[in-house]
Structure 1
Amino acid sequence: MENILTTWLNPSSNFNQLSLVWLGSWSMSSMILVALLCLITLGLGWYNTQKLNPKRKIILFLLRSLTLGTFFVLFMQPAARLEEVSRVKNHVAVLVDHSRSMNLPHRNAQKSLSRASVAHQNVLSAQSTLKQWSKTDHYIDYFSFDTHLNSHSSQSELIGSDPRGNQTSLINAFNELSTRIPSSELAAVILLSDGAERTASGQLDPPLKLMSAVENLNVPIHTLTLGPKTPSLDISLAEVRADDFAFARNAVSVDVDVLAHGHQQALACRITLSRGVDLLSERIVDFNPGQTQASVKFEFVPEETGEESYTVQIDPLQEEQILENNLTRFSMRVIRDKIRVLQVVGNPSWDQRFLRKHLKKNPNIDLISFFILRTNASVHVASQDELSLIPFPTQELFEERLGSFDLMIFQDFTYRGYRMKRYLPLIRDYVKRGGGFMMIGGDQSFSGGRYAGTPIEEILPFQLLPNGKDQVNLGTFKASLSTSGMRHPITALSLVQEENQTLWSKLPNLEGTNRLGKLKKEAQVLAWRPASNKLAKTPLIVASSIGKGRSLSMTTDSLWRWALSPESIDNDQGSRAYHRLWSNSIRWLIRDPALNPLQVKADRDRYRVKQNLSITAQSLDESYQAIAGSLITLRIEDISKGSANAKLIKEYQGRSSESGELHFSWQAPKEGVYRVLARSSQQGTEQEAQDLFVVAEDLAELKDPQPRLDLLQAISRHSGGQSLQIGDSWDSLKRRSPAVTQINRREDIALWATWWALLLAIMIPSIEWGLRRRWGLS
């Protein structure tokens, strides 16, 4: 072809591809007509030679055919198309596994030589082959991968990066490769990995999703498996299962699954459970030869409430190489086992019946109820034991065991007649030290129970009118939320403010409220009895903080109507509201941390080392209105060795925004259990909140880091690739040739407009004409 291009056609530039094209732009009908004329002419010529002998007939027929063929070809205007063509290279992708398991030894006997370093050496050894490919048909693309695919601009950049990924995902690597380089532009994939594919666990072998990703690439995938041929000795914590919270003085279970590999003989390992630095329990786990899985259960009883860090650890074996998978940390919140509630009722009523039923229904409440059916002065003819099924143990309740209660409820109850006056200061002090107190309306509540001027008045959110009878305003009404009540957790029947207001507006009517004196400064009215006729609006639900404790007053004894009215029976809306209101009230009175005006929360429970974490603190006042400009102090402490041994890591101060929030970002420098403490002074009261989070590397891959030769061989077989050995040459690896060509230059040389074409067009008809004349034909 080169001789033709250089001597005969004498092109003006170097071309490497020649093709014949037709430049005539005749229509199909024109070409058919010309062809028919040629055939007719050829037939007439054959008919005209009937007198000649066969030899002469054939010679003239051939000459006539050549003449007509020459004229037909010239009619089509043939041309030689010269092109300078270059192939567009396709891609060879080199994928090197950079997950954490690649830092493990490649051979058990050579602990200093990691799987990653062997992979890098093989890439370097193939450098000349890769350079040769890049000169001819292929671009060479270098990638590392773990859970995602990472591109590298050069071979040296790939080899210079360290394996730090927490997990191997061949599926993601293949899928992301297909999005970066279309399969039509791929020539081959060379994969260097130990095959520790965790995302494929639990599926058919070979995993269906992985093989689907291989099929989508539609190119040969050549694999090189790194890692020891026989499993290395390793024991690991596969899974630790524990609840996020537990109850104090109740047994807690921690379930641990253990994996063992590489042991030819029976082995035993010691596993411990610790809280901070205190050892709680230990177990010995035995493995038979070839046994890979075992489970163990720890049980302990936490005595104190609060959040703490716990550690499960396996004592390392003598020949064990991987120690990172021998330890797991977690946090657990220990809460009180029961909320101890004392309910004292002066008169049986529908209100006390419904409230007692609500309290008894809650499994987290330990309820002690006393129903007073008489006073000591009611009957004078019998002894105490004869008139009472259960004597009212005032000294035991209000002196000896007062501190054991989380909440005390006085419901339509007067202290008079039970020699209780001397216990009232103790109840007041109990509230100020952190207890919860609630008084519910009725004839014997507030001033009707003669509490005006007593220590009990000091812990109520309002002043009392002078003691006496007829302390109740009768009449029905519909409860109305106050401004504070629209955002307070007690009256939050719904978390959506507009929906909450709608629910309150649809609740059944209530009946009667106690008469009250002036509200105290710290009182928060959450709901009102609206004004009607000559009656001014009256506080219905009033809350207040008393020292470290809290006090709540319900000035009606008709809330039970919400649960029993015809409307409530029809749609159950009032019943749900009734139970929600009481549940909210109890949580607020016992200072449930979730309802603390100061809140702090990390955006996740677990982080990796040096992963960005976001901490949000929010400051609210006692009415749960956001406080802007509140000074909040955040302390981040490492409590891996227990709260008692907390170590300050970071401290930050800032002021809250208009929404009452303070945001702080941070990166933990090392693994451990951390506690963030938030402190803020609100209206003269020091508030504190805390949250725990765990910082640990994701060791999912190191739980079972054994090489998966079978998986990588399945990939090669399924894709038409080759399973390589260490040191194998890459020269003969199967690759797809570039399918796309690029035309850089094109030139058409008209063959019909040359001198030799004209010579043929004259010479062949002339020879035929001369022979016809000589053989006696016209």
Structure 2
Amino acid sequence: MTTSFAPSGDLAPSYQILAALLTVLGIVLLVMELRRSRGAQRSPRSSIAAFVTGALASIGLLLAVLRPVAIQSKGSLVGPRVVVLADVSRSIDLPGPAGKTRRQEAARALGELQKHGAEVRLYGLAFGKGSPTPLSAALASGAAEGAQNTPEGQLAQALLAARPMPRSDLAGAIEAVARAADERPAAIVVLSDGRLDRPGEGQAGEGIRAALGTLTVPVHAISLATEAPRDASVRVVRAAGAAVAHQPLTLRIEIGCAGGLDCDEVPVSLRELRETGEPTELARGKANASSGAATLELEVTLDRAGARILEVSIDAPDGDVVPDNDTRYVTIDVARDRVRVLHVAGRPTYDVRALRMWLKADASVDVVAFFILRTPTDDVVAPSEELALIPFPVDELFSEHLPSFDAVVLQDFNAAPYGLAKHLRSLSRYVDKGGGLIMVGGPDAFVPGNYAGTPLAEVLPVELDRGPGAEGSDVASFVPRTTEAGRAAPVLGPLRDLIGEEWPEMPGANVVGDARPGATVLLEHPTRKTPKGGPMPILALGEHGSGRTIALAIDGSHRLLFSAFAANAAGRAHGAFWDALLGWLMRDPRFEPAVVDLADGCIAGEDTTLTLRPLPGQKGDAKITIRKLGAGEVLRTLSARLDGKGEPLSLDAGKLEPGGYSATVEIVPSEAGAAADGTTSAERGPTTRRDFACERGGDEWADTRPDPERLAAIAEATGGKSVTADGIGSLPLPAATQIAAERRVSPLLPPWAWTLGAAMLVGVHWIVRRRSGLA
């Protein structure tokens, strides 16, 4: 309860001011009168008495006019709203002062801020990527009721439990606060280590002033760390230009050194992760980061297009307290200038001619073609030096130049007579490391070509009978039948647009076995069965290691170009068919059944979310298999139901360790039926694959140095103050405002009493004047 005094409300404020001015004027005139009559025979005591009574009479008249009243009010203090923006980017989990993490220091600072700001309403927001979010629902609801009553430590506990963010966008957070429709804050307090993505280092103050817009409030800053830990790290890896297969690429690697470490010579290695086995070393060097940072350039040549996972690591000096940023994993998307294809054919048939014509006619394909017109045992009745035909350079091609090709096409080619058998293991390793292989049928392909039981047979998407009485071919004519997977697979989409699901009659087929696990069968034989009872595959696609393989068990695809059937599509069906097969082999997005994205990347130890984007119209089940590169084992399998709308689906992949991973997506059409054994190849839908990498901390941990100078610049530009957690008590937070809840007005005296008192004082003054000789 508080008591105050004020004039009554009978007169308007302007008349109250006029009455006060007249009172002052009367007193001034009295003084002037006394000064003019100073020479009269009057004692000083009488002059003083005249002045005092005259002044009292004037004041009495003023009080009679104003008639003061007593105002008793009862209310409460309401603190101003102060927004606390707490940085929850991954960098606050780095080491901070006194052996604690910066997150723990932020929690302590929040506790101190609650004590210091007991009379304000703290509203806590966590900022990182995107719009800031309330630190806790309890604090958000308490803000409307008076968050000064929030239990001590609740804000700190909410911060300790906050999920780390991939960015630190302070400018975006302040923009959201400034544009919010709720109560405007009286001040903003920022808790951060200063390692911000926005605003930038050069114009931090200007950036925050622009983010505030019309909101003119001070932005105070609390630095969570002021000194860098002892740390050497791979800060940034940049590619100088676009990555193109088979062309040199320069990588600029920035090595950082902080905290007083001895970084005169820091070994740096660059390796590429593989599907299985140890990574392949691409380059090595040394960096001198004694000045705090150094940039090293390493040149590499990547032979395979697509997403390649590179590992950049350093041998950190002794005393490094953050070993997690000594190794960075970088995903390089390698493009193709031209697709390099090695085409090896056993004989110049119509099918070989048609394929070679298409390869030569496509400007995006760089083809090296070999036709085998004679075997080493052919008797040509002439010495070799007199022959115009060059020998097949099998050893040179498959020992030295094989990695330079994007794809290898073996068409109706027998491996035994030409010395290729000893290189089949190299060809298998080529596929395993990311190469593409197409085996096309014919009298000397698959089983008749002596591939059964060889290392190359293991990478094909179909099994081959290696028995002594194995049947190699079936010469009966037939029309291939499209499977359910073939109807859904984009790889046959361009062909379906031209000829529908009809195929020309084929002059026989190679006899192959069942599709291997994970393979996709697009075309099958209408009558012939595999040993397990299912339809025999005619066109099968498969993944092996980092590469892809295709088995086409016919040598009649030329009938899509040279036949009465082909005339219906003007001969374009053959080009559409082979363009799609080669495109799928090269992982062309047009022929992938789905796209797998990681919107927020992959950070080791945190939940990873995969985004699956299927094609419109796809219905069925999607199975996503996640494997770790190098080990090859399956870590987990995810599943999703596709409704045909093509809407993106988010899948939780859980927490992963640092390293490279592959996510293989298999889409099983809902119309696929089961065969006798319940596992026909038709149930295996089209597949796609996405390689990605996980690293501890990501970009936020690459540079562990705090930046208190940036926070100080922000505070200075907005009229705020920058302190550490120990100096929170000096922050000038706004004062609380009293809100009246009850008000009672009562007159001090009744009106007649004020009038009577004024008349008595005027009378006394008149008597004193008469006695002192004043007129």
TM-score (norm. length: structure 1): 0.57
Matched, 1:555 2:556: no
Q: CA-to-partner distance for each residue in 1:379-422, whole Å, 9 max, x for gaps?
A: xxx99999997599999965546888955889xxxx9xxxxx88
The alpha carbon displacement at 1:700 in A equals 1.9
State the Cα distance separating 1:314 from its structure 2 match. Answer: 1.1
3-state DSSP of counterpart to 1:637: strand
CA offsets 1:233-285 (integer angstroms, 9 cap, x no match):
43211223579999998867654332233458761111223445346156342
The residue that corresponds to 1:355 in the other structure is 358
* Mapped contact 1:633–1:651 kept (Cα < 8 A): yes
Cross-structure match for 1:280? 281
The equivalent of 1:606 in structure 2 is 601
Q: 1:674 to 1:219 in 2, by over 3 A?
A: same
Partners of 1:265 and 1:289 within 8 A in 2: yes
1:191-590 to 2 correspondence within 5 Å? 191-201=190-200, 204-206=202-204, 208-214=206-212, 217-229=215-227, 231-241=228-238, 255-263=252-260, 267-274=264-271, 275=273, 277-278=278-279, 280-281=281-282, 283-287=284-288, 289-290=290-291, 292-299=293-300, 310-330=310-330, 338-341=340-343, 355=358, 357-359=360-362, 361-368=363-370, 398=414, 400=417, 406=437, 426=448, 458=475, 461-462=478-479, 489=490, 492-493=493-494, 544-545=538-539, 549-550=551-552, 551=554, 553-555=557-559, 557=561, 580=576, 582-587=578-583
Equivalent pairs: percent with the same residue? 16
Q: 1:270 to 1:155 in 2, by over 3 A?
A: farther
Which one of 61, 80, 88 corresponds to residue 90 of structure 1?
80
- Residues 144-153 or 682-691, more deviating: 682-691
- In the TM superposition, residue 122 of structure 1 has moved relative to its aligned partner by 5.1
- Tell me which of 135, 139, 146 is aligned to 2:121: 139
Q: Distance in 2 between matches of 1:266 and 1:195?
A: 25
1:461–1:544 contact (8 Å) kept in structure 2: no
Task: Tell me if structure 2 keeps the 8 A contact 1:342–1:407.
Answer: no
Mark the structure with the bigger radius of gyration.
1
Specify whether residues 591 and 18 from structure 1 end up closer, same or farther in structure 2 by C-alpha distance, changes over 3 A only.
Answer: same
Instruction: From the superposition, tell whether residues 616 and 184 of structure 1 become closer, same or farther in structure 2 (CA, over 3 Å).
Output: closer
Give the letter aligned to residue 316 of structure 1.
A
- Checking the alignment, whether the CA contact within 8 Å between 2:231 and 2:320 is kept in structure 1 is yes
Alpha carbons 2:230, 2:321 under 8 Å: kept: yes
Which whole-Å CA distance do the structure 2 matches of 1:646 and 1:524 have between them?
29
Q: Provide the rounded CA distance (Å) in 2 between the counterparts of 1:319 and 1:717.
A: 36
In structure 1, C-alpha distance between the alignment counterparts of 2:438 and 2:230, rounded to whole Å: 57
Separation in structure 2 between the aligned mates of residue 310 and residue 172 of structure 1, nearest angstrom: 33
Which residue in the other structure is 2:53 paired with? none
Q: How does 1:618-637 map to 2 (within 5 A)?
A: 635-637=625-627
Deviation at 1:633, TM superposition (A): 7.1
8 Å Cα contact 1:670-1:695 kept in structure 2: yes
Q: Any gaps of 5 or more consecutive residues in structure 1?
A: 1-12, 25-30, 36-65, 377-381, 416-420, 437-453, 464-480, 495-499, 506-512, 526-542, 569-573, 767-778
CA 1:517 to 1:578, structure 2 compared with 1: closer, same or farther past 3 Å?
Answer: closer
SS at match of 2:713: helix
- Aligned counterparts of 1:73 and 1:247: Cα–Cα separation in 2: 95
Tell me the equivalent position of 1:694: 693
Separation of aligned partners in 2, 1:142 and 1:518: 74
Q: What's the CA shift string for 1:655-695, capped at 9, x where partnerless? A: 96676999964302533333445688444787776543333
Q: Which residue of 2 aligns with 1:667?
A: 654
SS of corresponding position for 1:271: strand
Any conservation in 1 of the 2:88–2:128 contact (CA below 8 Å)? yes
Q: Is the 8 A contact 2:233 2:255 kept in 1?
A: yes
Query: 8 Å contact 1:615–1:664 — kept in the other structure?
Result: yes
Cα shift at 1:328: 1.4
Q: Which of 650, 662, 672 is the aligned partner of 2:636?
A: 650
Once the two structures are superposed, the pairs formed by residues 698-709 of structure 1 within 5 Å of their partners are: 698-709=697-708
Which is worse superposed, 311-320 or 421-430?
A: 421-430
Q: Contact 2:473–2:508 at 8 Å: present in 1 too?
A: no
Contact 2:85/2:125 (8 A) holds in 1: yes
- The residue type paired with residue 606 of structure 2 is K
CA distance in 1, matches of 2:564, 2:249: 38
In structure 2, the partner of 1:710 is 709
- Post-superposition shift, 1:327? 1.0
CA shift in 2, pair 1:185/1:516, >3 Å: closer
Cα pair distance change 1:579/1:245, threshold 3 Å = farther
1:272 touches 1:279 (CA, 8 Å); kept in 2? no
Specify the code of the residue in structure 1 equivalent to 2:627. Answer: E
Specify the code of the residue in structure 2 equivalent to 1:140.
Answer: L
1:212 alignment partner, SS class: helix
Please tell me the residue identity of whatever aligns with 1:293: A
Alignment check: 8 A CA contact 1:244 1:331 kept: no
Question: Could you tell me which amino acid in structure 1 is paired with residue 316 of structure 2?
Answer: P
Q: Distance in 2 between matches of 1:87 and 1:575?
A: 87
Q: Judge conservation of contact 1:285–1:294 (CA < 8 Å) in 2.
A: no
Q: State the superposition RMSD in angstroms.
A: 6.6
- The Cα offsets for residues 289-347 of structure 1, whole Å up to 9 and x where unpaired, read as 42523123153666x99988542211121132222211112467999973333577679
CA distance in 2, matches of 1:216, 1:709: 26
- What's 1:744 paired with? 741
Q: Matched residue of 1:492: which SS?
A: helix
TM-score computed with the length of structure 2 as normaliser: 0.57
In structure 2, do the counterparts of structure 1 residues 559 and 745 end up closer, same or farther at CA, with 3 Å as the change threshold?
farther
Q: One-letter code of the match for 2:281? A: L
Relative to 1, partners in 2 of residues 1:429 and 1:709: Cα closer, same or farther, differing over 3 Å?
closer
Task: State the shift of 1:90 in Å.
Answer: 0.9
Given that 1:358 and 1:579 are in contact with CA atoms closer than 8 Å, whether structure 2 keeps it comes out as no
**Alpha-carbon separation, structure 2, partners of 1:95 and 1:278:** 43
Report if aligned partners of 2:193, 2:223 keep a CA contact under 8 Å in 1. yes
- 8 Å contact kept, 1:602–1:614: yes
* Paired residue secondary structure (2:493): coil
Question: Aligned ranges for residues 172-183 of structure 1 at < 5 Å?
Answer: 172-178=172-178
In 1, the alpha carbon distance for the partners of 2:191 and 2:239 equals 38
Q: 1:280 is aligned with what amino acid?
A: E
Q: Deviations over 1:475-527 (max 9, x none)?
A: xxxxxx99999866455349xxxxx96x889xxxxxxx9888999999969xx
In 1, Cα distance between the equivalents of 2:180 and 2:643? 45
Q: AA paired with 2:559?
A: T
* Contact 1:354/1:560 (8 A) holds in 2: no
Contact 1:491/1:584, CA 8 A, preserved across alignment = yes
CA distance in 2, matches of 1:191, 1:655: 42
Q: Is the Cα–Cα contact under 8 Å of residues 627 and 634 in structure 2 kept in the other structure?
A: yes
For residues 283 and 522 of structure 2, the distance between their equivalents in structure 1, rounded to whole angstroms, comes to: 53
5+ unaligned residues in a row in structure 2: which ranges? Answer: 19-57, 140-150, 393-409, 428-435, 462-470, 512-520, 525-536, 542-549, 669-678, 764-775
